[in-house]
Every structure is written in C-alpha cells, then in structure tokens.
Amino acid sequence: MGRLSGRVCIITGGAQGIGRAAAFQFAADGGTVVIVDVNEKAGAQTAADVRGAGGQCEFLRCDVSRAADVRAVIDAVHERHGKLHVIYNNASVFLPGADGRITEVAEETWDTVLAINLKSIYLFCHFGIPRIIESGGGSVITTASSAGVIGIPNCDVYTASKGATISLTRSLAVEYRPQGVRVNCIAPAGIRTPMMSQSNLGDDSFDEARFLALRSPSRRYGTPEEIAHIAAFLASEESSYINGAVIVADGGTTINGDLAKIPQDRTR
C-alpha cells in the first residue's frame, strides 16, 4: 500500500516538467492520477508513460483559465471515480520578452499570466474543494516561486501572480481546514524545466556558471523529481499537521548572500 493508495489526485499542467514528474510520483505512491493540460499530445503521452510504468493515470484536456473547462474536469473526475482527494495546482506560465517592468507590460500579458497562474487556482478550488470535502477531506497544493517571496526584477506580472498565490494559500488554509482540507504551497526556484530554459532565452547577460557559484549554496539546479517528492508528501497524510505552509524549494538561493568568498569545492 502506497501513501496515496485510494486517493484520486488532479495535477494541473501535468504534461511536462514538474507536473509530469509529479504524475509519476503520485502514481508510484498508489494514487489514481488525473493530469490536465492544454497540450493534448504531451498530456496523452505522459499519461501513457505513467500507465506503462504500472501506475493509474488518465489525461483530460483543459484550459485551466476557463471556468467551463475546469468544471468539466471536476465533473468528469466525480463521474468516473466518485471522489476527489488532492488538487495539485501546478500549472504556471512565464512569458519571456512580454513580462517585464510594470510600466512596460501590456495589459494582455497581465491578463494572460494572471489567468493561468492565479485564476486557475480559484477555478480548481471553487469547483474542486466541495468534492474534496464530500470525499472526507484531503489536500490542495499550490505553486508559487522564489518570485513570490523576494523581489525579482523584469517579471512583475509573474511576481504578482506568485505573491498572490501565497496569500491565497494562507487564506484557504484557515478557511477550509476545519472541513478537512489542508492547503499548502510549494515555492520552487532554479528547477531544470522547459519553463526555466525559456525564461533565459535571449538573455545574453545571464551567466549560468556565475549564478550557480555565487547565488546557489547547492551549486546546482534542482530537478522536477525533487519537487514531485515534496508534492507527494503534502498530498499524503504524512503531512497531516502541515497547513498553510510555504515550502521554499530552491537549494537556498532566496536566503543566500554573496558566496564569492566560500570555497567552490563545497558541492554537496
């Protein structure tokens, strides 16, 4: 019996990156996994790969910013499984080249990023939390970022969405814990995903080696699997006394000063 045995889990943005890793981890822990994504090809492939590895996983296409799509997903999960225990709000977007300083950002960029990164959490919680309560309780996990806990220039829209995610997490944690729903947040940074690669495209000034040497005490980037382990823990009863927490998973980057004077051979 795995720690998620008998639990029905929705993972948004499950087609690639952290969401894909979480689908494998949740299924390996015995969960019945439903991944949702707007990318049909990648989503279907991830679900097939998880099943090929012996897990229970299905894919449902969903634009997480559209109420009709989200409601259809929640209804479909209820019809097929009769219960829902976990919602992992993993879907996020960063728009390099469009996001930037607030005085230069187009209204369309603001609307798009907030719709995917923040409104999607509202929609899945709005339609999904009542189903979790009906199922006897469970866990909601949100996704912030280092941009939600420290100031980061040239991505003001993304930063706004992640700061709001943290505040919403805390409010939901207070409101719904008495009804058996825990709400916690993971704030990753420096994770090797397609979105991280895209965020540095066209930035000739970004010195990756210097960043890792001076800003990351871990001297490396994190992996999607490392975040998936945290998500599975929060989804399970192993974290039953954790509620309203923001787990910053960034190798220590956001609490770090200048590492220039620390010996460079400390890599573990």
Element (H, E) at 117: none
The answer to whether 21 and 228 have CB atoms below 8 angstroms apart is yes
241 assigned to active site = no
What letter represents residue 154's amino acid? N
First to last CA, the chain: 33
Question: How far apart are the C-alpha atoms of 106 and 92, rounded to whole Å?
Answer: 19
The answer to whether 36 and 16 have CB atoms below 8 angstroms apart is no
The answer to whether 196 and 16 have CB atoms below 8 angstroms apart is no
Say how many C-beta atoms besides its own lie within 10 A of residue 43's C-beta. 25
Q: Tell me whether strands 246-249 and 181-188 are parallel, antiparallel or unpaired.
A: parallel
Element (H, E) at 106: none
* Catalytic residue, candidates 158, 176, 221, 241: 158
Query: Which positions are annotated as active-site residues?
Result: 158
